[in-house]
């Protein structure tokens, strides 16, 4: 018997178990590869949510070291807490106005950017600046721009004779929330515009061409061709923005701290103060659960709209 | 998608130029004013007529933030935390994205959806329990607690982007690797990763920026300059009698300029990554 043949026989007999070993390793591979992620997300995102729900049923207060099970008491207190409802209203007001403004202005920017023109790359690059800045820096930057005494905005508006005297933009309860909304629009609109731009570019060009050949002008093309196709993208982008806006914290905490006179207190700043100033971890957890529930409701409303919009398009 | 050539009127071109200029001014204007402010005397900042060009041009604010406020420690802390987070995010995220993209698993889209929905949890809801947990484990005011949390916050986005990218790598390469005897781990390390380097750089940048800019957890879980990060440092910049806008502007410039330069340099990749390549040039 020749050597190669003997070796060949041995290999062929060994081959099935080699494949079996490789198959067994391949079965474990996905689980092993996903293990670090699972541990990380499980311990940092999933466990605290459950622990928070459990905490909300206790009167845990770090200052007095209380920790008794109290059932629904926190939620009953929440339902009659004027601070909670005021923050809830502010948060919804902020979410609605900023999402609408950012979607509308973002759409305008996207429509501009979808056309080819010299310097388009520069414009797109510039639009990333607001997104890249830490929100804390943005807050301080606009704190200086909108400063009641020496801010640039007051000086420009007075020079243009649009206002008579200095306005204490974020020091006065009437204008503080509006100032916060303005800063958020500045920071987030460019990002929305880029998302909508991506959506716009998925619309087949043949549709534009057909409309143009039929003699449609720019406005008609927009209203009857682009806009209907944009609706699902607009709704999805608006939903993500709304959910994000609902959670606003950095901007409010740094620019106004929730004031003046609680006029800009939003749910996350109220919860933060309840947790870390008043050290009421039980009540604070109930607050954040109520916040989570409202957010889920908003997501549900958007979800229904999106599904209905897609169904109407026959997708 | 090729733009069909369309003759545009001079007026339309003019409008585009106007709109484009408006967008550029809107996006960069406030930051340019911050840069100018950081070089101006406090006296000049409260004068009735502001000026864009600093006159006189001073470096006092930059000296203040480093010599008096010890801003360099905040920068050091942020750098350590952000880089650690980024490296871990890329490692764990690539593994998970590879598993979801390549290895045939029954519930992979459900799992992907779950990972994404976890990223939608309001952070305020988890900061309380995490504070208690960190307190029990003795992790308050450490680098580790921030890295652990930022890792979990960044993983969903990293996995999402890398998953999209891995899907575009042809499976024939995996086949060839398997025939040569490489298992899934070797395939990932020696084939997929080298092919994905540009995407990994972009994704790493996104994770770095997110970790660098994070505020709430840093505020809640760190308490001394030994571990506090840049956002907390800037938020705490107040003097007893007045708000030092010049110093704050200097700190803002120091912190933001590298970020802005990085983002401008990688802008095309970043936009592609965030929109899954849908935005065309």
Superfamily designation of domain B70-274: MetI-like (1.10.3720.10)
Please give the structure tokens belonging to residue A139: 């807050």
CA distance B198 to chain A (A): 18
Q: Cα(B249)–Cα(B45) distance, rounded to whole angstroms?
A: 11
- Taking the Cβ of residue A161 and every Cβ of chain B, the question of whether any pair is shorter than 8 Å is answered with no
Judging contacts by C-beta atoms under 8 Å, the chain A residues touching residue B96 are: 33-34, 36-37
Among B20, B33, B122, select the one facing A152 at the smallest CB separation. Answer: B33
CA distance A29 to chain B (A): 7
User: Do residues B269 and B202 make contact, with C-beta atoms less than 8 angstroms apart?
Assistant: yes
**Which residue, A76, A23, A99, A47, is CA-closest to A286?**
A76
- Which residues in chain B are classed under CATH 1.10.3720.10? 70-274
Judging contacts by C-beta atoms under 8 Å, the chain A residues touching residue B220 are: 272, 275-276
Report pLDDT digits (tens) over B173-203. 888 888 888 778 888 888 888 888 888 988 9
Judging contacts by C-beta atoms under 8 Å, the chain A residues touching residue B87 are: none
Please judge whether B152 and A136 are an interchain contact, meaning their C-beta atoms are less than 8 angstroms apart.
no
Please give the structure tokens belonging to residue A18: 């080699």
Report pLDDT digits (tens) over A73-103. 999 999 999 999 999 999 999 999 999 999 9
CA distance A164 to chain B (A): 15
* Chain A 224-253, residues with CB within 8 Å of chain B CB atoms: 243, 246-247, 249-250, 253
Asked if pLDDT for residue A53 goes beyond 60, the answer is: yes
Q: Cα(B188)–Cα(B174) distance, rounded to whole angstroms?
A: 9
- Tell me if residue B164 falls in helix, strand or coil: helix
A302-312 average pLDDT score: 82
**Which residue, B75, B107, B65, is CA-closest to B248?**
B65
- Residue of chain B with shortest Cα separation from A246: B122
CA distance B194 to chain A (A): 18
- Taking the Cβ of residue B27 and every Cβ of chain A, the question of whether any pair is shorter than 8 Å is answered with yes
Answer whether the bond into residue B133 is a cis peptide, omega within 30°.
Answer: no
- Taking the Cβ of residue A19 and every Cβ of chain B, the question of whether any pair is shorter than 8 Å is answered with no
**Which residue, A107, A125, A95, is CA-closest to A295?**
A95
Instruction: Report phi then psi at A162, rounded to 5.
Output: -85, -25
Beta bridge partner(s), residue A202: none
Give the DSSP H or E segment for A4: helix A3-41
**Sorting pLDDT into bands at 50, 70 and 90, what band is B4?**
very low
Q: Cα(A270)–Cα(A259) distance, rounded to whole angstroms?
A: 11
pLDDT of residue A124: 86
Please judge whether B33 and A145 are an interchain contact, meaning their C-beta atoms are less than 8 angstroms apart.
yes
Which ipTM score applies to this complex? Answer: 0.86
- Residue corresponding to tokens 């999106």: A306
Each residue of B4-37: b (16+ CB within 10 Å) or e? eeeeeeeeeeeebeebbeebbebbbebbebbbbb
- Taking the Cβ of residue A21 and every Cβ of chain B, the question of whether any pair is shorter than 8 Å is answered with no
Asked if pLDDT for residue A312 goes beyond 50, the answer is: yes
A110-132 average pLDDT score: 85
Please judge whether A40 and B148 are an interchain contact, meaning their C-beta atoms are less than 8 angstroms apart.
yes
A231-259 average pLDDT score: 91
User: Do residues B212 and B233 make contact, with C-beta atoms less than 8 angstroms apart?
Assistant: no
pLDDT of residue B281: 43
pLDDT of residue A52: 92
pLDDT of residue A13: 65
- Residue corresponding to tokens 């203040």: B64
Report pLDDT digits (tens) over B119-153. 878 899 999 999 999 999 999 999 999 999 999 99
Q: Cα(B149)–Cα(B85) distance, rounded to whole angstroms?
A: 9
Please give the structure tokens belonging to residue B160: 């999402």
Q: Cα(B117)–Cα(A251) distance, rounded to whole angstroms?
A: 24
Largest Cα span, chain A: 108
pLDDT of residue A132: 86
Report pLDDT digits (tens) over A2-52. 565 666 666 666 666 666 666 666 677 788 889 999 999 999 999 999 999
Asked if pLDDT for residue A187 goes beyond 60, the answer is: yes
**Sorting pLDDT into bands at 50, 70 and 90, what band is A62?**
confident
Please judge whether A44 and B115 are an interchain contact, meaning their C-beta atoms are less than 8 angstroms apart.
no
A126-151 average pLDDT score: 91
- Tell me if residue A281 falls in helix, strand or coil: helix
- Tell me if residue A66 falls in helix, strand or coil: strand
Asked if pLDDT for residue B223 goes beyond 80, the answer is: yes
Mean pLDDT across chain A = 86
pLDDT of residue B1: 41
Among B1, B133, B184, select the one facing A29 at the smallest CB separation. Answer: B184
Asked if pLDDT for residue B234 goes beyond 80, the answer is: yes
- Taking the Cβ of residue A142 and every Cβ of chain B, the question of whether any pair is shorter than 8 Å is answered with yes
A111-139 average pLDDT score: 86
Largest Cα span, chain B: 76
Among A49, A126, A129, select the one facing B126 at the smallest CB separation. Answer: A49
A155-176 average pLDDT score: 89
Q: Cα(A308)–Cα(B138) distance, rounded to whole angstroms?
A: 50
- Residue corresponding to tokens 């004027």: A82
pLDDT of residue B257: 86
pLDDT of residue B202: 87
> CATH class for domain A81-312?
mainly alpha
CA distance A47 to chain B (A): 9
Please judge whether A267 and B256 are an interchain contact, meaning their C-beta atoms are less than 8 angstroms apart.
no
Among B105, B249, B263, select the one facing A144 at the smallest CB separation. Answer: B249
Q: Cα(A56)–Cα(A284) distance, rounded to whole angstroms?
A: 7
* Chain B 51-70, residues with CB within 8 Å of chain A CB atoms: none
Return the beta strands (E) in chain B as ranges.
none
CA distance B166 to chain A (A): 15
Q: How many CB atoms lie within 10 A of CB A307?
A: 13
Please judge whether B127 and A36 are an interchain contact, meaning their C-beta atoms are less than 8 angstroms apart.
no
Mean pLDDT across chain B = 86
Return the beta strands (E) in B44-101 as ranges.
none
Q: How many CB atoms lie within 10 A of CB B148?
A: 20
List chain A domain ranges: 1-50, 81-312
């Amino acid at each position: 018997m020749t050597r190669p043949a003997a070796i060949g026989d041995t290999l062929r007999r060994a081959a099935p178990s080699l494949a079996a070993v490789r198959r067994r390793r391949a079965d474990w591979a996905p689980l092993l590869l996903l293990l670090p992620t699972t541990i990380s997300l499980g311990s940092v995102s999933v466990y605290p949510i459950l622990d928070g729900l459990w905490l909300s049923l206790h009167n845990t207060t770090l200052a007095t070291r209380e920790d008794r099970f109290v059932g629904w008491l926190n939620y009953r207190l929440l339902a009659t807490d004027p601070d909670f409802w005021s923050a809830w209203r502010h948060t919804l007001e902020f979410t609605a106005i900023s999402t609408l403004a950012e979607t509308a202005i973002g759409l305008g920017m996207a429509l501009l950017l979808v056309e080819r023109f010299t310097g388009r790359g520069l414009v797109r690059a510039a639009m990333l600046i607001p997104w890249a800045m830490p929100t804390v820096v943005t807050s301080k930057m606009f704190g200086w721009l909108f400063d009641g005494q020496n801010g640039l905005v007051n000086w420009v508006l007075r020079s243009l004779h649009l206002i008579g005297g200095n306005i204490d933009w974020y020091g006065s309860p009437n204008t503080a929330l509006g100032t916060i909304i303005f800063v958020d629009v500045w920071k987030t609109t460019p990002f929305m515009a880029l998302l909508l731009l991506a959506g716009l570019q998925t619309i087949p060009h043949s549709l534009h061409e057909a409309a143009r050949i039929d003699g449609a002008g720019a406005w008609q093309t927009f209203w009857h061709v682009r806009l209907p196709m944009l609706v699902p993208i607009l709704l999805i982008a608006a939903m993500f923005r709304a959910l994000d806006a609902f959670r606003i914290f950095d901007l409010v905490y740094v620019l106004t701290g929730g004031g003046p006179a609680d006029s800009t207190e939003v749910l996350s700043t109220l919860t933060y103060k309840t947790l870390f100033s008043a050290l009421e971890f039980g009540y604070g957890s109930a607050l954040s659960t109520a916040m989570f529930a409202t957010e889920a409701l908003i997501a549900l409303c958007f979800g229904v709209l999106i599904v209905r919009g897609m169904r109407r398009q026959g997708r | 998608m090729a733009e069909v050539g369309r003759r545009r009127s001079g007026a339309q071109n003019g409008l585009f130029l106007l709109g484009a200029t408006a967008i550029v001014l809107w996006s960069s204007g406030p930051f340019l004013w911050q840069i100018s402010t950081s070089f101006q005397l406090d006296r000049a900042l409260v004068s009735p007529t502001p000026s864009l060009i600093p006159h006189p041009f001073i470096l006092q604010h930059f000296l203040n933030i480093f010599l008096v406020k010890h801003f360099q420690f905040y920068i050091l802390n942020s750098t350590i935390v952000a880089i650690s987070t980024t490296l871990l995010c890329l490692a764990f995220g690539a593994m998970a994205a590879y598993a979801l993209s390549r290895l045939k698993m029954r519930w992979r889209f459900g799992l992907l959806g779950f990972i994404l929905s976890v990223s939608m949890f309001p952070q305020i809801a988890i900061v309380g329990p995490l504070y208690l947990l960190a307190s029990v484990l003795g992790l308050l005011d450490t680098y580790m607690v921030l890295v652990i949390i930022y890792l979990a916050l960044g993983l969903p986005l990293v996995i999402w982007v890398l998953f999209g990218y891995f899907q575009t790598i042809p499976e024939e390469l995996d086949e060839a690797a398997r025939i040569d005897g490489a298992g899934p781990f070797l395939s990932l390390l020696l084939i997929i990763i080298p092919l994905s380097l540009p995407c990994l750089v972009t994704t790493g940048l996104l994770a770095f920026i997110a970790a660098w800019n994070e505020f709430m957890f840093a505020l809640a879980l760190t308490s001394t300059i030994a571990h506090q990060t840049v956002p907390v440092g800037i938020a705490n910049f107040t003097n007893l009698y007045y708000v030092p806008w010049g110093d704050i502007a200097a700190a803002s410039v120091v912190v933001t300029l590298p970020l802005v330069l990085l983002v401008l340099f990688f802008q095309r990749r970043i936009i592609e990554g965030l929109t899954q390549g849908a935005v065309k040039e």
